Amino acid sequence: MPGSEIFQQVSGVSRETSDRLDFLEHLVRKWNPSINLVSKDSLPYLRSRHVNDSIQIFSLVDFTKGNWCDLGSGGGFPGLVVAILAHETKKQLQVKLVESDGRKAAFLREAIRQLEIEATVVNSRIEDLQPLGATVISARALASLSRLCGYAERHLSAEGVALFPKGATYQCEVDEARKNWAFDITLHPSKTHITAAILEFRNIRHV
């Protein structure tokens, strides 16, 4: 399975955590026909395309405490997976899932309840929020890099990091974003998609 080595990174987790990840997949499959949490085409590949991708995002962060804000959380990738792994690793991360769609926000709250994890759902448009002061911001399949830079510049703490998974055209998006934004960027080749990458942004500022 593509990306199976990512899951091996957490293969030593407790049975409880492994069961939580399995149960998350079950919940997504149960709710997806009603509210389209993930694309129908990717549903058979939840583990490799969504769960494992979320695990590798979590693995890039070395903070042991702080405020992790997942913007446009949708089906909970990576937000719910982050909360599950933070619980397992005892990291003191306050996980906040920002989702404007009321039905998806309802799913996230129910998933948090059934998974018995700590996370907060904010049912709001990102543009309407007061600055979040996040230690970590993640956003997966949400918007262009230029738009994401605007969100991060507003909601990221001075020492914080933003993690944005992007597909094969990520360099074009970086070049476009540089027209209006300055930032320090670290490229992490994706271990689940051969042409994709996770872009790590720091010190984002408008130019």
Does 176 show up as a binding residue in the annotation? no
Establish how many alpha carbons lie within 13 A of residue 124's alpha carbon, considering only the half-sphere containing its beta carbon: 14
Beta strands at 65-71 and 92-98: parallel, antiparallel or unpaired: parallel
Q: Which residue(s) pair with 122 in the sheet?
A: 98
Q: How many helices (H) and strands (E) does the chain have?
A: 7, 7
Q: What is the structure's pLDDT at 141? A: 87
- pLDDT band for 12, please (50, 70, 90 cuts): low
- Beta strand ranges found along 24-119 (DSSP E): 65-71, 92-98
Does 35 show up as a binding residue in the annotation? no
Tokens standing for residue 52: 């494992």
Q: What is the structure's pLDDT at 91? A: 87
Q: What confidence tens digit (pLDDT) does each residue in 35-73 have?
A: 999 998 889 889 988 999 999 999 999 888 999 999 999
Establish how many alpha carbons lie within 13 A of residue 195's alpha carbon, considering only the half-sphere containing its beta carbon: 5
Q: Is the omega angle on the peptide bond into residue 78 within 30 degrees of 0, that is, cis?
A: yes
Does 25 show up as a binding residue in the annotation? no
Q: Which residue(s) pair with 63 in the sheet?
A: none
CATH of 4-206 among 3.40.50.410, 3.40.50.1820, 3.40.50.150, 3.30.460.20: 3.40.50.150
Does 140 show up as a binding residue in the annotation? yes
Does 126 show up as a binding residue in the annotation? yes
Q: What is the mean pLDDT of residues 134-140?
A: 97
Q: What is the structure's pLDDT at 13? A: 64
Domain layout of the chain by residue ranges: 4-206
Residues in the chain, total: 207
Report which DSSP code applies to 130: P
Q: What is the mean pLDDT of residues 172-176?
A: 97
Q: What is the structure's pLDDT at 90? A: 85
Q: What is the structure's pLDDT at 48? A: 85
- Give the integer Cα–Cα distance in Å for 87 and 99: 21
Q: What is the mean pLDDT of residues 170-181?
A: 96
- pLDDT band for 29, please (50, 70, 90 cuts): very high
Cβ partners under 8 Å of residue 65, min gap 6: 91, 92, 93, 135
Q: What is the structure's pLDDT at 15? A: 86
